[in-house]
Amino acid sequence: MPAKLVLVGCLGSGLDLAERLIATGVKFSHIVSIHPDHKAVAQIAGYSDYTSFSERHGIPIHYARDYGLGHEDDLDFFREQRFDLLVQGGWQRLFPTTMLNTLKIGAIGVHGSSDFLPKGRGRSPMNWSILEGRERFILSLFLMEPGADDGPVFDFEMYDINAYDTIRTLYYKLVLATERMILRNLDALLEGRVSPVEQTGEPTYYTKRTPKDGRIDWELLDVQDVHRAVRAQTRPYPGAFAQIDGRWVRIWTAQIFDTRLVFPGKPYGAIVARFGTDLVINCRGGLLLVTETEDIAGIEFSTLGIEA
């Protein structure tokens, strides 16, 4: 009998990964995802609807009743299917022990930071790595356990975080690195020939980020910090936001413009030049060129923790 693989995901990166794996001949027997009607309740940043993917490839899809997969309907589904191996396609919750115990081999976890695990466990590690100015990312493949990113590791890939990267491009790199590791290890996993190594050392953890963490304080941050904040929080995330010319706006794209041109007397956060829709903003330590913004209005004010 062929191995039963299940894809569990609800993020765009998981769809990209699954498309690439299927193109190489990997077969998924089922998909587990979150229905689009429930994405707001689950508060999923970077959500993607897997419905059309499921239909296009003829793969049955189970919509989880609970994002934590602890609902009895979800557990019954896993008990009935008895999957050999779970491939994660982006799932921002821990898997319960009762679900993991239904898997014959286990669940493939993917996580990383600028250092080897157990450093950098937790939430939003690629976002945090951009914000911290890191220049590399080490992505590990491990067998999942009930804790946060604490399973034994059996492979890793390393890639750059360069000055041109945003969180979107880092997800592209994550997909390529994850695909490479899964294809390198899939047969050995199914045949029981993988020997995972327990993580050693003192763990560190990144904390959860929320939309209100994207607020830019022009007085507090210098131009490098602001640029990293925009890169780390752009699409598919809610975006960095700030007050510009008396308006609250979400900043989607920006670049460091100059560190020598100065405008004495101009406050930080002030527009010092306009070129069409492009704005040159005075910052601590230099000028920022803002090339795409979007007004924030209405109910978004309360969700972002700012006053209209």
Q: Give the pLDDT score at 41.
A: 67
Contact yes or no for 283/226 (Cβ under 8 A) = yes
Q: Give the pLDDT score at 197.
A: 97
Q: Give the pLDDT score at 45.
A: 80
3-state secondary structure the chain: CCCCEEEECCEHHHHHHHHHHHHCCCCCCEEEECCHHHHHHHCCCCECCCHHHHHHHCCCEEECCCCCCCCHHHHHHHHHHCCCEEEECCCCCCCCHHHHCCCCCEEEEEEEECCCCCCCEECCHHHHHHHCCCCEEEEEEEECCCCCCCCCEEEEEEEECCCCCCHHHHHHHHHHHHHHHHHHHHHHHHCCCCCCECCCCCCCEECCCCHHHHECCCCCCEHHHHHHHHHHHCCCCCCEEEEECCEEEEEEEEEEEECCCCCCCCCCCCEEEEECCEEEEEEECEEEEEEEEEECCCCHHHHHCCCC
Sign of torsion over alpha carbons 141, 168, 290, 211? negative
Can you read off the two tokens belonging to residue 84?
A: 């050999």
Residue 253: Cβ within 10 Å count: 16
Q: Give the pLDDT score at 305.
A: 65
Q: Give the pLDDT score at 211.
A: 87
Per-residue pLDDT of the chain (308 residues; tens, 9 = 90+): 689 999 999 999 999 999 999 999 999 999 999 999 887 767 788 899 999 999 999 999 999 999 999 999 999 999 999 999 999 988 989 999 999 999 999 999 999 999 999 999 999 999 999 999 999 999 999 999 999 999 999 999 999 999 999 999 999 999 999 999 999 999 999 999 999 999 999 999 999 988 899 999 999 999 999 999 999 999 999 999 999 999 999 999 999 999 999 999 999 999 999 999 999 999 999 999 999 999 997 656 666 766 65
Could you give the CA distance from residue 51 to residue 295 in angstroms, rounded to a whole number? Answer: 31
Q: Which domains does the chain have, with CATH numbers?
A: 5-206 (3.40.50.170), 211-304 (3.10.25.10)
Asked if the peptide bond before residue 36 counts as cis, ω within 30 degrees of 0, the response is: no
- 277 burial (CB, 10 Å; 0-12 / 13-18 / 19+) is exposed
